[in-house]
């Protein structure tokens, strides 16, 4: 367990395969509020948005491992669907960044217009945007 306090505001960004531009990536950004209890870190998206993200991590020295759930925008490309998966991040020495990867199930559009479940992975980054004292 790390003795650092990761509570406060973080910028959360993840990248995923683009549905519109095959072979390229899109990204989604949230600002999240982190609350730490012991080695557990709970992050929840902030602001008045129609999409929402929750991330639960366990901190072990320079490694953060956990799961995420995202409710997408009802008016967006993913039509309000809920996605979830796992995430593993390496914590920088100064505790101000976490970089790693996510894995989760998405949907691949088929030629007949139907969707087939597919496992996807991508980069994930958290950058400290404020502390609990801010």
What pLDDT tens digit does each residue of the chain (134 aa) get? 457 999 999 999 999 888 777 888 999 999 999 999 999 999 999 988 888 999 999 999 999 999 999 987 777 677 767 889 999 999 999 999 999 999 998 777 678 877 788 899 999 999 999 654 44
CA distance 133 to 112: 53
Span 8-128: which CATH code?
A: 2.40.128
Question: What's this model's pTM, rounded to 2 decimal places?
Answer: 0.86
90 forms bridges with which residues in the sheet?
A: 63, 99
Pairing outcome for strands 40-45 and 115-128: unpaired
Tokens 């505790």 — which residue? Answer: 95
């Amino acid at each position: 367990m790390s003795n650092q306090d990761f509570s406060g505001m973080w910028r959360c960004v993840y990248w995923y395969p683009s549905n519109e531009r095959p072979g390229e990536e899109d990204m989604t950004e949230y600002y999240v509020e982190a609350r730490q209890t012991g080695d557990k870190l709970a992050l929840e998206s902030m602001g008045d948005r129609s999409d929402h993200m929750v991330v639960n991590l366990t901190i072990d020295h320079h490694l953060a491992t956990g799961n995420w759930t995202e409710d997408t925008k009802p008016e967006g490309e993913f039509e309000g669907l809920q996605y979830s998966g796992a995430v593993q991040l390496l914590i920088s020495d100064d505790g101000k960044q976490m970089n790693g990867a996510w894995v989760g199930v998405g949907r691949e559009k088929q030629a007949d217009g139907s969707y087939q479940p597919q496992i996807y992975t991508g980069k994930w980054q958290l950058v400290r945007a404020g502390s609990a004292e801010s």
